[in-house]
Amino acid sequence: MPEISPEIAVASLTPEQAAAELAALAEAIARHDRLYHQQDRPEISDAGYDALVRRNAAIEARFPELRRPDSPSSRVGAAPAAGFAKLRHAVPMLSLGNAFSEMEVGEFVARVRRFLNLGEGDPLDFVAEPKIDGLSCSLRYQAGWLVLAATRGDGAEGEDVTANVRTIAEIPQRLPAGAPEVLEVRGEVYMLRDDFLEMNRRRAEAGEAVYANPRNSAAGSLRQLDPKVTATRPLRFFGYAWGEVSAPLATTQWLARQRLAEFGFRLNEPARLCASADQLAAYYAEIGGRRSDLRFDIDGVVYKVDSLELQRRLGFVSRAPRWAIAHKFSAEQARTRLERITIQVGRTGALTPVAELAPVTVGGVVVSRATLHNEDEIQRKDIREGDTVVVQRAGDVIPQVVEVILGERPDGSLRFVFPDHCPECGSLAVREPGEVVRRCTGGLICPAQAKERLRHFVSRDAFDIEGLGEKIIAAFWDDGVVRTPAEIFRLAERDRASLTPLRAREGWGEKSARNLFEAIEKRRAMPLERFIYALGIRQIGQATAKLLARSYLTLAAWRAAMAEAADRDGQAYRDLTNIDQIGPAVAEDLLAFFSEPHNLAVLEDLAREIEVQDFVPLQAQASPVAGKTVVFTGTLETMSRGEAKARAEALGAKVAGSVSARTDFVVIGADAGSKAAKAQALGVTTLTEAQWLQLIGV
Ligand code: IVH
């Protein structure tokens, strides 16, 4: 690669040197644009970037005849340093659960029927449509005009891409009369395969970097800071869902699709109304067969319960609707050489083997590492270093090693011996009976665990500090800049007194340091459920963290309860394990966390720096059952246990598995047993199903 030689003054460059340097600058600037705009991982400071752009302009000014077709200066406004503004979605943007086999689809259908308490003869229709691989977007129309467009982001908050979306010809700026006053249309921004290939061909010709696949290309094109750039990209849009609407679109998904079409949106076709799991399977097979004939990439199909009333009843779990599922196509595969097996140490000390591969393209993406899951998996497949292996990618899932091509095994290769010591800290690594995972026993002295915990702490669903990605926090940890969560919040203060302030670090500048400090300030208030999740306690994922928050409401109450629950015979322990879905195993992991003095110190330290917000039960004011503990027993008539529980929780109630003096209501269905009797004995209010429905206003 030609060199950039800023030490030579522009005035003394020869034409040859100038031409070589312009080529190098075009390449370097394009690369930094990509890192910044598309991958969000800049490698140079804003000032460093500006210097490159200025140098390029100065050379071009002196040698106008050497100006290149791909000159960075012809990309208007290539470098505004601000990102996109954040927009809160009026209605969260959900993602989808996945099914990878017909069996899993069958289970999905059965699950839906069970939840809705449908009888065998009761009909249940689904809309089946292609699952297009692009970037989801929400378009908000008011009084018929497109007023806002946002990416999905984390589902709650996305990026404001209104200006860019206005450049997409397929998206109506104005809706015809008859459209609701407020309408948020959701769908996918994508690129046709042919358009993608043609665009890449032109980019290659102009010496610009090419995109890996249509999906990346659509995402990169939409997330350009300059809408003029987006305007040159062949983006398209399919509408398949909606967010806030001031008036219902229709009574079924199928008819709602027709409404979207009437408003001028393109729909993802071919779609079909299906009445059974068999019909879904036939659709899947048919689309799978036509996959390569479609003009766009799809990674599966989506099934949605057709009735919108049933969709409403089904609601959602965590981030995905209960009424829809994505049925993925089988993964794309490729062969490559497994060069080495390395061991990663996770935040809970788990040793995970990783295959380091000779880079290979699988389904449009270059893969150089794959997970090997655990030691049994390596033994079972007898995977060895030096083997030729088949790797596959299924959607967003981490690449996997499927099998070894034994015929190509080199002579003298040896079985892989899984280490019994932690490769990071040297502590003994043990495998508890019945566990598949071997864990480092080094706990807090293990740097890998400490680092991973910190990474988890700043991850998207936890503290999600803008500009403090997992890579940066890992680098901060390595350099001793930040070693505990609380230190993140003291960073700005310490930086002022530091001899090596952040702005002096490689890749940082005045501005990026200031932005980071501001982003950190914004996270000084954190909802309890996110806080609990961020602690990275074993088995405490988002859903469990939320259950805990809902049950204990405040940080102080939770901590006190966890301390008391150390007594396995006491009330606090019984209360904990009585929370629906928290069993003894999860309880043990929680208590293990709280029995470790270092964890308490970290927690204490952190609590001094930030404000943990009390859990606010949803619809708390409006609901007579908010904050109450409810137990369902016996067979309910109008709904399944699952639906009853989901509804109660949506109204802010806690659902428990057994009756105690602290239970507020026991809802008694048919053939109820001992729980009803126990409620009576304890004087707990009992309700019939009808009374319960009346209480919650159904
Ligand atoms: S419906 C509430 N339908 O797939 C349901 N999503 O893996 C929201 N996607 O986030 C999604 N094609 O970006 C739906 N026909 C389709 C889709 C589709 C692609 C995307 C969407 C979603 C992701 C989940």
**pLDDT of 25-74, one tens digit each?**
988 888 877 776 556 566 777 667 777 877 888 888 888 888 877 777 65
Instruction: With cut-offs at 50, 70 and 90, classify the pLDDT of residue 149.
Output: very high
Which atom of ligand 1 is nearest to 324's Cα? Answer: 5
Could you tell me how far CA 110 lies from the centroid of its own chain?
A: 27
Residue with the nearest Cα to atom 6 of ligand 1?
Answer: 131
Q: What is the Å distance from ligand 1's center to 25 Cα?
A: 40
pTM attached to this predicted model: 0.58
Phi and psi angles of residue 392, each rounded to the nearest 5 degrees, phi first: -140, 155
Strands 685-688 and 665-668: parallel
Which homologous superfamily is 629-695 in? Answer: BRCT domain (3.40.50.10190)
Residue 395 Cα: closest atom of ligand 1:
7
Question: Which of ligand 1's atoms lies nearest the C-alpha of 130?
Answer: 15
pLDDT of 214: 84
Question: CA 466: distance to chain centroid?
Answer: 15
Residue with the smallest CA separation from ligand 1 atom 9 is: 131
Same fold yes or no, 442-523 and 527-613: yes
Q: Alpha-carbon distance 477 to 499, whole Å?
A: 18
Percent helix, strand and coil across the chain, each to the nearest 5? 40, 20, 40
Mutate to test the pocket of ligand 1, among 89, 94, 95 (most ligand atoms within 8 A of CB): 95
| Cα 27 from Cα 397, distance rounded (Å) | 32
Nearest residue (by CA) to ligand 1, atom 11, is 95
What's the CA gap between 359 and 69, in Å, rounded? 32
Q: Which of 91, 93, 96 to probe ligand 1 with, by most ligand atoms within 8 A of CB?
A: 96
Tens of pLDDT, residues 663-679: 999 999 988 888 988 99
Backbone angles phi and psi of 70, in degrees to 5: -100, 25
Cα angle 47, 48, 51 (rounded to 5 degrees) comes to 85
Report whether pLDDT(76) > 90. Answer: no
CATH architecture observed for domain 527-613: Orthogonal Bundle (1.10)
| Pocket (CB within 6 angstroms of ligand 1) | 94-96, 129, 131-132, 136, 188, 240-241, 268, 302, 321, 324, 326
- Look over the chain and give the mean of its residue pLDDT values, rounded to a whole number: 88
Answer CATH for 333-430 from 2.40.50.140, 1.10.510.10, 2.30.30.90, 3.60.21.10 = 2.40.50.140
- Measuring CA to CA, how many Å separate 152 from each of 257, 342, 443, 534? 20, 35, 37, 22
Model pLDDT for residues 624-683, shown as the tens digit of each residue? 888 889 999 999 888 888 888 888 888 888 899 888 888 999 999 988 888 988 998 888
Task: State which ligand 1 atom lies nearest to the alpha carbon of 135.
Answer: 13
**Six-digit token string for 491:** 């960073």
Q: Report how far apart, in Å, the C-alpha atoms of 25 and of each of 69, 72, 232, 406, 447 are.
A: 13, 8, 23, 47, 39
pLDDT range class, residue 362, cuts 50, 70, 90: confident
Return the CATH fold of 442-523. Answer: DNA polymerase; domain 1 (1.10.150)
User: Is residue 502's pLDDT more than 50?
Assistant: yes
6-15, 142-151, 561-570: which range is least confident on average?
A: 6-15
Which residues sit opposite 299 in a β-bridge? none
Q: How far apart are CA 492 and CA 439, in angstroms?
A: 35
Distance from Cα 131 to the centre of ligand 1, integer Å: 7
Nearest protein Cα to ligand 1, atom 10 = 95
The lowest-confidence range among 158-162, 362-366, 423-427, 560-564 is: 362-366
The CA 697 to ligand 1 mean position distance, Å, reads 32
Q: Which value, to the nearest 10 degrees, does the dihedral of the CA atoms of residues 554, 556, 562, 566 take?
A: -150
Our answer to whether residue 654 is catalytic in this structure is no
pLDDT tens digits along 230-252 = 988 999 999 999 999 999 999 99
Minimal-distance CA residue to ligand 1 atom 18? 131
**DSSP of 539-555, one letter per residue?**
T--HHHHHHHHHHH-SH
Q: What spacing in Å lies between the alpha carbon of 297 and ligand 1's midpoint?
A: 14
Domain extents for the chain? 10-76, 104-328, 333-430, 442-523, 527-613, 629-695
pLDDT for 289 equals 85
Separation CA 463–CA 564 (nearest Å): 28
Residue 478 burial (10 A CB sphere; 0-12, 13-18, 19+): exposed
CATH of 104-328, one of 3.30.470.30, 3.30.70.1050, 3.30.70.920, 3.40.50.150: 3.30.470.30
pLDDT at residue number 77: 33
Share of the chain above pLDDT 70, in %: 94
Q: Give yes or no for a contact between 599 and 584, defined as CB atoms under 8 angstroms apart.
A: no
DSSP H or E segment with residue 244: strand 236-245
Among 86, 131, 304, 511, which one carries the catalytic annotation?
131
Which residue's alpha carbon is at the smallest distance from atom 16 of ligand 1? Answer: 131
Q: For the purposes of burial, counting CB atoms within 10 Å of the CB of 320, is it exposed (0-12), middle (13-18) or buried (19 or more)? A: middle
Cα(290) to centroid(ligand 1), Å: 20
Distance 186 CA to ligand 1 centre (A): 9
Distance 484 CA to ligand 1 centre (A): 37
Residue with CA nearest ligand 1 atom 23: 95
Looking at the CA of residue 133, tell me the nearest atom of ligand 1.
Answer: 19
Q: Which atom of ligand 1 is nearest to the CA of 268?
A: 15
Nearest protein CA to atom 21 of ligand 1, as residue: 136
Highest-scoring range by mean pLDDT, 409-418, 542-551, 667-676: 409-418
Tens digit of each residue's pLDDT (9 = 90 or more) over 433-442: 877 889 998 8
DSSP states of 390-426: EEEE-TTSPPEEEEE-GGGPPTT-------SB-TTT-
396 CA: nearest ligand 1 atom: 7
CA angle 467/472/477 to nearest 5° reads 130
Q: How far is the CA of 283 from the centre of ligand 1 (A)?
A: 17
According to the per-residue pLDDT averaged within each range, which of 107-111, 199-203, 358-362, 477-481 is highest?
A: 107-111
Inter-CA distances, 341 with 114, 415, 419, 572, Å: 45, 11, 11, 45
Q: Which helix (H) or strand (E) holds 280?
A: helix 277-289
pLDDT for res 42: 65
CATH of domain 10-76: 1.10.287.610
CA–chain centroid gap for 341, Å, is 27
Residue 433, classed as helix, strand or coil, is coil
Q: Which of 131, 186, 317, 319 to mutate to test the pocket of ligand 1 (most atoms within 8 A of CB)?
A: 131
127 CB-near residues (< 8 Å, 6+ apart): 252, 253, 254, 257, 271, 272, 273, 274, 303, 304, 306
Helix (H, G, I), strand (E, B) or coil at 378: helix
The Cβ of residue 5 has, within 10 Å, a number of other Cβ atoms equal to 12
